[in-house]
Structure 1
Amino acid sequence: MDERYDGTSRRRLLQAGALGAGAMLASGTLSTGGAGAAPTQASKASKATQDAKASTARIDTEHPRFTVAVVPDTQYQFDLDRVDPAPLTASFEYLIDQRSTENIVFTAHLGDVVENAQASEFAQADPVFKILDRAQMPYSVLAGNHDIDASKDDTRGDSAYLRTFPPQRFRRMATYGGSTPNGYNSYHVFRAAGRQWLLLAMDWRPSDASFAWARDVIAKHPKLPVILTTHELVNADHGQPVAYFTDHGNRVWDQLVNGNDQIFLTLNGHFWPPGRVVRQNAAGHDVHLHLTNYQDRYYGGSGMIRLYHFDLARNTIDVETIAPWLLGQDPAKRNALAEGDLELTDDTNRFSVPIDFAERFAGFDPVPVRPARPAAQLVVPGTAAYWRFDGAITDKVVDHSGKGNHLTRVQLAGDGPQASTEFHPDQPGHASWLFSGGKNPARGGYLRTADDAPLNAMTFRGGYTIEAFVKLADDGADHAWEGLLSRMGTGADVGKTGSDPSEPVVNLAFSGGRQLQWAVYPLDRNDTFTNWGHEQVVGQWFHLAVVNDGRRSILYVDSSPLLRNPATASNGLATAGKPWLLGANHYAGVIEQSFAGHIGELRIVTRALKPAEFLNA
């Protein structure tokens, strides 16, 4: 199911005039265009502002979220004596203005810059692209059928397009990698989300030699994911946004895309309306093929652009379509047709593409497995117990802390735990145990400390850290209130009369909504003290931690502090001197169910650790 990208803040910025130069350009009535239409006074005045912004604009190449801007067919803005550069100017100035905010790392034009391939038209378009040049914004341009003699392939020789966008124009860019000898095809490499990405800009009709060049470029960058931009590949019909391949599109697929698993996304214009389709390549992996073109909408598309917001933390590409020129106009003066094209929010033009990037790129650039770390390296000062489940199922689990808090396996009805090769990617030990717990009646198995284990008597007055690697079972059974770690003994056993005295003195469990719960009787309180987490996803590994500094307890999931941590002081953990349970909890001393899922390892330390000291650090 597609997720929606919330562009509200962007709209507000634009409508509030935060577009800067673009808003200045577009305010008031629409430009009527005409032969030799010159930049407006506002555009001229904005140049100094834009140049200043360009020197200070910064992108974050390591942040997991970044944006690739896509500019489709702009031909009607540069059509002989029917010229108005204002819409595209506003789009480019918007990209510059939002470069840092949106982390815009690259801009790709999809061809058909002009309508009739005339030198006079390119003379009108050239100054607009110089806005990007001055701002040192990396971009690519490719030839569409209206930019050149469309009857010929890229061996066509000289053209007004090539004189305007020769390889020399792009060599100043740090992203530029090279071009075909004929100059009509190029590639760029940019850094974003902590890795490099390759973008191919291919001609309207690449020759066989140019396809061979593109395959060689990919082969020389074997670990880089590739975005292919070209003018024609897929088409779509009105009312049928599922795109389909053209004859030329099948040629592109056969010669370049199908056999190159690194190509995961293709972008083309030429046709309208927009559409998209997913096709599996020879490696059995999805390739997302998108058509975007707005030239037949109001005012030749009004300089409309697409923003591809890559989010590697969420494994999603959020796509939105906006017209900065229209959004930047004074709402009181905006006409009815402009109002309808400020941004496109239908499913074809505003959508999300879920991609597990690590999995999709694993065939050519697998994420290296973090090396296993010996248990001895993780026995930090204050370690009271450290159990790892990285071997065969045994009746005894060794406490690596050296304190003698070993665990003994207790078998209930049904199947006991099973050894598993699964583990959290940041887990020191590369294995786990899969517990098949259940309730009504309790079944499976759990582990317990010995009756005389030193851990049983500890009260942790100076604070504590309890952390574990866990994956909850996705077997569909009811595991509400299953316990991960508990301490035998009840509130009544330690003289606590508040809350429910039959509750365990210590209980780290998961609610019916799979919310993490830390419910304990502290030394300094007569009733239970509870921290709450959020709903955890079944079948997905996570690291959890409970940290108490002697005054306050905080829950962490994947080293991130959670919200529902009481500000009330809490010191120590009450004890009846009874064993600890791992993989089960109890009520009134009766074990009602055991844990269901994977446990990788669990460590208890007698002080508050910082996230940088956790097992997953």
Structure 2
Amino acid sequence: MCTSHEHGSEHAQAGAGRRSFLRATALLGAAATAGVALPGVAEAAAQSRWRPDTDSRRFTLAVMPDTQYLFDGPSIDKAPVEASLRYLLERCEDKGAENLVFLSHLGDLTQNGTAAEVTAISEAFGLLDRRGVGYSVLAGNHDVKSSTDDQRGSTPYLDAFGPDRFRGKPTYGGASSDGYNTFHLFTAAGREWMVLALDWRLSAKGYAWAKDVLARHPRTPVVLTTHELVVEDDTLSAYGQQLWDRLIEDHDQIFLTLNGHYWPAGRATRKNAAGHDVHLHLTNYQNRYFGGAAMIRLYRFDLDRNVIDVETVSPWILGRAGKGLNELERQEIELSGDADRFTVEVDFAERFSGFAPVPARAERPVSRLLIPGTVAYWRFESAAKDTVRDLSGRGNDLSLVTVGGGTLGWSADHHPDQPGHGSLEFQGYKSPLKGAYLRTVDGAPINSATFKAGYTIEAFYRLPADWDPSHHAWSGIVSRTGTGGAAGKTGDDPDEPLATLSLSNDREPQWAMRPLNQEGIATNWGQETPLETWWHLAVVNDGRHTTLYVEGCPVVRNPKATSIGIASVGLPWLLGGYEYGGKIDQILHGRLGDVRVVERALPVTSFMTH
């Protein structure tokens, strides 16, 4: 691309455009002395093979846009490109620094597409070939005759970067018959991903080939790379609009597109035919110091945080920092503008659900949950009747208690990792007190159990959007009735129950109980849990200390004091209810899933979520 407004259809015009650019930025002198290599770097061929962590849910896709001004007739300088590639290779060697899974060049590798220019950048990319790194390239309008499409035939670009170069590489998927369009498959976060690298101009045959590739990989998320698509923020070029209309819009697999050609960098987001966002990014720095200095863009995927963190950096300038940088280099070493350093939020499971839905976890049989030491196991696969059986066979059945005419509903809604596929819908209200809850029957063995050797109490819950702390706070998920005073433990508030796993006014789970070895109340606190989300709680005591877990993660406010057993006066346990002073005081407003009590400490790997 010659300027941000002209399309550079002729190579002669492109050369003039470059000279105008250098004069305008007073860099003709710098261009004359451009051949500065990254110092002190060993030859990559002597290093080990590239082996990304294919299971990690954090990985990096690197992008290199237009490098044409570095490969322009007599002004050829491979050093910036090699510096960027070595930078990536070195960070891959440093475990944890960069889990690089793939690199994509966005076209206009060269200025004039001559054999000498193409040979020079081909030699630079040999660094990746020797290490077995997966990468893609594609032709821009300066690499080929810009008036042609992918049926143009032989060119120096195709001789160097055609299918023969990639054949045999583990990430290479295939090419169109003309050789100008390729697709590449890599594994990251335990699944297959695709980079679909398309020519500067697709022919009818090119479109047909691309659609066939997508049809043959119907469950694979796709990053589409091409030279021209976005022209500026929120705007596609005429050709970019054609590419959207003829390919991107109707193929939900394409969730991200990357292109160069224009400047400055920009972004657009569009809804596809499935109603999902497609993120379309323009990245190109050829208008900046040293023709962009082979600046790279790093797309860091984090599937746990559901984000792609994007960073733009110049490794060539970084490598020169030890010798002192000039004024323009200091400005360009790393870009921090909104178009260069940003975060894209992507709920990957939801975004890919239309073509690769995550299969719902199957319901697990009761027998698999009855691990050694199970004292009680309650699950709700249908509406609660007067009695809910304890599936452990220990006789800790539950009876239904209604207050103020309240009812207890049932829903098929459940935590995705919950063994049983159903939940009870509690509809508690504080004043006047109304709702329904469950209590263990009189004489149930669990009523008198003190768990001296340890225990694990697990429960799943979900709070609705209308949950209001003024009416619903401090309701119990699981609690033991009987007061501290009745147990002869008068420390703290003697009217508090002997044990309760409750939700505070800030929706923080709290385990507050009286151990056998102390008078007062021992309390574990969790963090705020958002509404309309399923949560798994586990309280684990190893006979000495108690730890509260939220979604299998220990909370910060777990007391260090010794805590042995749970005090008892032989009274029932409640599900969805909370007593104060020996009387029902609050009823849960929300859904409650499976609840299990085990008379020993369980590791996280034995929780019901596993």
**TM over 0.5, shorter chain:** yes
Given candidates 331, 335, 339, the residue that maps to 1:340 is: 331
Specify the alignment match of 2:102 in structure 1: 106
Amino acid corresponding to residue 60 of structure 1 in structure 2: D
Given candidates 46, 49, 54, the residue that maps to 2:48 is: 54
Specify the alignment match of 1:284 in structure 2: 275
Specify the alignment match of 2:502 in structure 1: 509
Specify the alignment match of 2:376 in structure 1: 385
Give the Cα separation in 2 of the matches to 1:414 and 1:86. Answer: 79
Amino acid corresponding to residue 564 of structure 1 in structure 2: R
Given candidates 246, 257, 263, the residue that maps to 1:255 is: 246
Given candidates 457, 465, 470, the residue that maps to 2:461 is: 470
* Compared CA separation, residues 546 and 256, structure 1 to 2 (3 A): same
Specify the alignment match of 1:399 in structure 2: 390
Give the Cα separation in 1 of the matches to 2:373 and 2:505. Answer: 34
Maintained 8 Å contact 1:419/1:433: yes
Maintained 8 Å contact 1:434/1:597: yes
Specify the alignment match of 2:131 in structure 1: 135
Deviation (angstroms), 1:153: 0.6
Give the Cα separation in 2 of the matches to 1:78 and 1:415. Answer: 78
The answer to whether residue 170 in structure 2 is matched with residue 187 in structure 1 is no
Amino acid corresponding to residue 580 of structure 2 in structure 1: Y
Specify the alignment match of 1:14 in structure 2: none
Amino acid corresponding to residue 422 of structure 2 in structure 1: A
Deviations 1:367-413 (A, max 9, x none): 11111112132112211111101212322211101111111122223
Q: Which runs of 5+ in 2 are unaligned?
A: 1-27
* Compared CA separation, residues 248 and 415, structure 1 to 2 (3 A): farther
The answer to whether residue 162 in structure 2 is matched with residue 171 in structure 1 is no
Given candidates 570, 573, 591, the residue that maps to 2:566 is: 573
Give the Cα separation in 1 of the matches to 2:211 and 2:259. Answer: 19
The answer to whether residue 486 in structure 2 is matched with residue 486 in structure 1 is no
Given candidates 351, 354, 360, the residue that maps to 1:363 is: 354
Maintained 8 Å contact 2:299/2:310: yes
The answer to whether residue 544 in structure 2 is matched with residue 551 in structure 1 is yes
SS across alignment from 1:492: coil
Specify the alignment match of 2:23 in structure 1: none
Amino acid corresponding to residue 475 of structure 1 in structure 2: D
Deviation (angstroms), 1:31: 11
RMSD: 1.9
Specify the alignment match of 2:216 in structure 1: 220
Give the Cα separation in 1 of the matches to 2:479 and 2:384. Answer: 21
Deviation (angstroms), 1:221: 0.9
Specify the alignment match of 1:439 in structure 2: 430
Maintained 8 Å contact 1:379/1:401: yes
Maintained 8 Å contact 1:544/1:558: yes
The answer to whether residue 590 in structure 2 is matched with residue 597 in structure 1 is yes
SS across alignment from 1:339: helix
Given candidates 147, 150, 153, the residue that maps to 2:149 is: 153
Deviation (angstroms), 1:83: 2.8
Give the Cα separation in 2 of the matches to 1:64 and 1:394. Answer: 44
Deviation (angstroms), 1:492: 1.1
Specify the alignment match of 1:271 in structure 2: 262
The answer to whether residue 318 in structure 2 is matched with residue 327 in structure 1 is yes
Given candidates 88, 109, 124, the residue that maps to 1:95 is: 88
Deviation (angstroms), 1:141: 0.2
Deviations 1:456-502 (A, max 9, x none): 11100111010112222221411332221111111111111222222
Deviation (angstroms), 1:81: 2.2
SS across alignment from 1:87: helix
Give the Cα separation in 1 of the matches to 2:215 and 2:273. Answer: 16
Give the Cα separation in 2 of the matches to 1:536 and 1:53. Answer: 48
Deviation (angstroms), 1:52: 4.1
Maintained 8 Å contact 1:267/1:290: yes
Give the Cα separation in 2 of the matches to 1:298 and 1:591. Answer: 73
Amino acid corresponding to residue 292 of structure 1 in structure 2: T
The answer to whether residue 308 in structure 2 is matched with residue 317 in structure 1 is yes
Given candidates 295, 299, 303, the residue that maps to 1:308 is: 299
The answer to whether residue 554 in structure 2 is matched with residue 561 in structure 1 is yes
Maintained 8 Å contact 1:390/1:600: no
Maintained 8 Å contact 1:261/1:283: yes
Give the Cα separation in 2 of the matches to 1:512 and 1:234. Answer: 48
The answer to whether residue 413 in structure 2 is matched with residue 422 in structure 1 is yes
* Compared CA separation, residues 457 and 31, structure 1 to 2 (3 A): farther
* Compared CA separation, residues 417 and 609, structure 1 to 2 (3 A): same
Give the Cα separation in 2 of the matches to 1:304 and 1:449. Answer: 67
Deviation (angstroms), 1:327: 2.8
Give the Cα separation in 2 of the matches to 1:458 and 1:297. Answer: 73
Given candidates 108, 117, 120, the residue that maps to 1:121 is: 117
* Compared CA separation, residues 605 and 251, structure 1 to 2 (3 A): same
* Compared CA separation, residues 149 and 395, structure 1 to 2 (3 A): same
Deviation (angstroms), 1:34: 5.0
Deviation (angstroms), 1:335: 1.8
Amino acid corresponding to residue 159 of structure 1 in structure 2: T
* Compared CA separation, residues 370 and 128, structure 1 to 2 (3 A): same
SS across alignment from 1:465: strand
Maintained 8 Å contact 1:106/1:137: yes
Maintained 8 Å contact 1:31/1:84: no
Deviation (angstroms), 1:600: 1.1
- Number of equivalences: 578
Maintained 8 Å contact 2:257/2:281: yes
Give the Cα separation in 2 of the matches to 1:415 and 1:224. Answer: 49
Maintained 8 Å contact 1:34/1:83: no
SS across alignment from 2:41: helix
Give the Cα separation in 1 of the matches to 2:191 and 2:63. Answer: 20
Give the Cα separation in 2 of the matches to 1:98 and 1:301. Answer: 21
SS across alignment from 2:48: helix
Give the Cα separation in 2 of the matches to 1:415 and 1:179. Answer: 66
Amino acid corresponding to residue 478 of structure 2 in structure 1: L
Pick which of 500-509 and 558-567 moved more.
558-567
Q: Which runs of 5+ in 1 are unaligned?
A: 1-29, 237-241
SS across alignment from 1:112: coil
Maintained 8 Å contact 2:35/2:79: no
* Compared CA separation, residues 415 and 141, structure 1 to 2 (3 A): farther
Give the Cα separation in 2 of the matches to 1:170 and 1:231. Answer: 20
The percent of aligned pairs where both chains have the same amino acid is 52
SS across alignment from 2:150: coil
* Compared CA separation, residues 392 and 154, structure 1 to 2 (3 A): same
Deviation (angstroms), 1:438: 2.8
Give the Cα separation in 2 of the matches to 1:330 and 1:289. Answer: 33
Give the Cα separation in 2 of the matches to 1:413 and 1:335. Answer: 78
